[in-house]
Amino acid sequence: MPKIRVLIADDHALVREGIAAFLRLCDDIEVVGEASDGIEAIERALKIRPDVILMDISMPKLGGLEATVELRKADPGIKIVVLTQYEDREYISRFLKAGVSGYMLKKAVGSDLVNAIRAVNRGEFYLFSSIASEVVDGYLGKNTKTGEEDLYGKLTDREKQVLKLLAEGHSHKEIASLLNISAKTVIAHQTNISEKLDIHSRTALVKFAISNGIIKL
């Protein structure tokens, strides 16, 4: 039986190495690649075509959510398991809407991660036990959206990418290079973001991004 081919995307080298070392102990799992940011995750996933991607949330350049959205556009059948320290309901909700196959916490034991990889590879959905209640509450309507969350939902996928990079302090030229678009297009996206959110300063955009969990201090 062929091994489950896994790509690990995390900006901390020690985390990647630790996960890879543990997974190599499993006879049915093979680590075929690593990525240190969202852009690398996209490039390597589309080149290597792993069976399962382990995706961190907070990464430089493009974060895990932005990378997930792009990968799902390129390959709707791609299997992504979020592996993060964040168990905030807003994160869980956004990744589930983006179409991930699982959501794991880094505080989980190794056997949980292996079970998640195997389950997702079989086509199943996997949620870490401690956050399952968050999902249930969401479906029962217990997580009423705030006005800011509703506004964020009005942004296009590209505008969300630009918002994150702007909030992280990148210049228009840097964002253009990272997203492979022109600086003029970046400015146009920023204008649209400002109009949709009714926010007209970089400082206010940063505050919005922090309060909505788009970036972390």
pLDDT tens per residue across span 156-166: 989 999 999 99
Query: Residue 217 falls within a domain, yes or no?
Result: no
Q: What does the pLDDT average to over 161-181?
A: 92
Domain that holds residue 39: 4-139
Task: Please give the Cα distance from 25 to 32 (Å, whole number).
Answer: 14
Q: For the chain, how many helices (H) and strands (E)?
A: 11, 6
Question: Do 132 and 153 belong to one domain?
Answer: no
Q: What CATH number is associated with residue 63?
A: 3.40.50.2300
Which residue reads 């020690």 in tokens? 14
Q: How many domains does the chain have?
A: 2
Q: How far apart are CA 94 and CA 14, in angstroms?
A: 27
| Per-residue pLDDT tens digits for 113-140 | 999 999 999 999 998 877 766 665 555 4
Q: Are residues 164 and 118 in the same domain?
A: no
In the listed set 95, 116, 139, which residue is the last one of a domain according to the structure? 139
Domain boundary among 139, 169, 192: 139
Query: Does the global pTM surpass 0.85?
Result: no
In whole angstroms, what is the distance from residue 178 CA to residue 168 CA?
13
pLDDT one-digit tens code per residue, 47-100: 999 999 999 998 988 899 999 999 999 999 999 999 998 887 778 888 888 999
Nearest alpha carbon to residue 41 among 91, 96, 100: 100
Residues 9 and 63 in one domain: yes
When the pLDDT of each residue in the chain is averaged and rounded to a whole number, the result is 88
State the pLDDT confidence band at 202, using cuts at 50, 70 and 90.
Answer: confident
